[in-house]
Amino acid sequence: MNYELQPVEWIKSAAQISPSERQLRWQEMEFYAFIHFTVNTFTDREWGTGEEDPSIFNPSELSAAQWVQACKAAGMKGLILTCKHHDGFCLWPSQFTAHTVAASPWRNGTGDLVREVADACREGGLKFGVYLSPWDRHEATYGDSERYNEFFLHQLRELLTNYGDIFCVWFDGACGEGPNGKRQVYDWEAYYALIRELQPAAVISVCGPDVRWCGNEAGHTRESEWSVVPAHMQDNEKIQEQSQQVDDGEFARRINTQDSDLGSREVIRSQGEQLIWYPAEVNTSIRPGWFYHASEDDQVKTLEELLAVYYGAVGGNATFLLNLPPDTRGLIHKRDVERLQELGDELRTIFQENFALQALVKASETMDEQHAVSEVLTERRDTYWCPLEGTEQAWIELDLQEERSFDRVVLMEHIQTGQRIERFTLELQRADGGWEEFYMGTVVGYKRICCFPQVTSRKVRLSIHESRWCPTLSGVGIYLSERGGL
């Protein structure tokens, strides 16, 4: 981008930053699982020391099919497995270390859990992803940067060549001291290059260029989650940096992962740097811990809690990565399984009937025939409505053909052409013909699920008050949740 541009030209170029094909495919997955499982499951810890004896890894009834079934019941589209957590124990028989399932009694040392999970995913129609912790508390070369990087690349290659298509490589930012007291310098560029070579369709998440960590592990999303943010958000080393000194001696505020506003006009303009498409993922666990602890059996998140995270994440222009920790049997506990089924049932019920599909729809203006407003009512996401270029305010109106009660409105931008909507309202038509606002929102992006107390009307209007260059919409849905307003 050229920072010398006038504001209107500048916002036009910001409006045109768009996702890569792999980012688009990933975003469409919406909801998928994290599985944290390793020696920690058997030691009842969250972080292993690296000194665990592989003989403790011995799940008695492990069934990857059960995990996949639980994910599918919840409506998830994929699963990411901790193939190696910080303790260094590998769930596959890596040729580059003895600290693996091959040294455990599980399946008499002939097991390969990565294979079992990858196969079960493929069979069940889920995409499969890998978590490989760069921080390794077992590996002797850790801290001897060059040698460890080589070792890590070997492990990556094993995972990316032997287990079919991988949709995501998830890199954690944790970096501790090595056994020799040295600090490891990760060769991120080499890791990324190998992933692009072996699995070009995979996104690289968190410590990676494709998917941004939302900034917390509690399941919170920002009110305005922008996918277009300044390029330094991608900088692994500096991600926690609060501020930096600029050339003229003044302190310029640099936004970081925890800030509440990463992408408003004011913020991106003040950062004065390259903008990138870097969408958010919300990761949280169904229980307090990432690994299974019997003591947390009565702390499985409630349906209401999970729905709230779902609405904030999937309904707030992010994706939802929900962690499910299998227990020492190698099964997901009954309580978690039941909760996942309830969640899936609830979501299927809420989004069962889209009242908008019957609607007559009109718009304040339309760019051309290819972008007719009727495109917002089709299931297709590659077609969309938009007004004339340069029109930042516009509206569409839906006549539902009969009076309807509803409490959820789903809006989707055509993000293939960028993220543009900044502020909108929803209004309904009163009996006297006047319009009454019942919802105000900011960004839309891939998907915004507007939740509000039930209203009743035949006509609904979406007014876009602020947008970048010109808004787009590829989908609109209107629903009634059985539960009433949250």
Judged by the rule CB under 6 A, the positions of this chain that interact with ligand FUL are 46, 172, 174, 283, 290
* Residue 350: CB minimum distance to ligand FUL, A: 28
* Residue 172: CB minimum distance to ligand FUL, A: 5
DSSP structure class, residue 45: -
Question: At residue 446, what is the residue type?
Answer: Y
Residue 46 vs 119, nearer CB to ligand FUL:
46
Residue 236 vs 341, nearer CB to ligand FUL:
236
Q: Give burial (CB, 10 Å; 0-12/13-18/19+) of 414.
A: buried
User: Taking each helix axis from N to C terminus, what angle separates 64-74 and 113-124, rounded to the nearest 10 degrees?
Assistant: 40
Residue 301 vs 447, nearer CB to ligand FUL:
301
Residue length, the chain?
486
Residue 48 vs 279, nearer CB to ligand FUL:
48
Question: In DSSP terms, which residues pair with 435 in a beta bridge?
Answer: 429
Sequence-ordered list of residues with C-beta below 8 angstroms from that of 223, at least 6 positions apart, any chain: 260, 316, 442
3-class state of residue 267 by DSSP? helix
Long-range contacts, 400-404 (Cβ 8 Å, 24+): 400/355, 400/356, 400/358, 400/359, 400/457, 400/458, 400/459, 400/460, 400/478, 401/358, 401/359, 401/360, 401/458, 402/458, 403/456, 403/457, 403/458, 404/355, 404/456, 404/457, 404/458, 404/478, 404/480
* Residue 186: CB minimum distance to ligand FUL, A: 14
* Residue 104: CB minimum distance to ligand FUL, A: 21
* 240/171 Cα distance (integer angstroms): 16
* Residue 283: CB minimum distance to ligand FUL, A: 6
* Residue 46: CB minimum distance to ligand FUL, A: 6
3-class state of residue 183 by DSSP? strand
DSSP structure class, residue 424: E
Residue 10 vs 135, nearer CB to ligand FUL:
135
In contact, 251 and 209? CB cutoff 8 Å = no
Please compute, for residue 318, the number of CA atoms within 13 A of its CA located in the half-sphere on the CB side. 27
Residue 48 vs 143, nearer CB to ligand FUL:
48
Residue 216 vs 302, nearer CB to ligand FUL:
216
* Residue 298: CB minimum distance to ligand FUL, A: 22
* Residue 14: CB minimum distance to ligand FUL, A: 31
Residue 174 vs 246, nearer CB to ligand FUL:
174
Strand order in the sheet with 203-206: 203-206, 168-171, 127-132, 78-84, 31-35, 318-323, 280-285, 212-213
* Residue 463: CB minimum distance to ligand FUL, A: 40
Residue 172 vs 297, nearer CB to ligand FUL:
172
Please compute, for residue 194, the number of CA atoms within 13 A of its CA located in the half-sphere on the CB side. 18
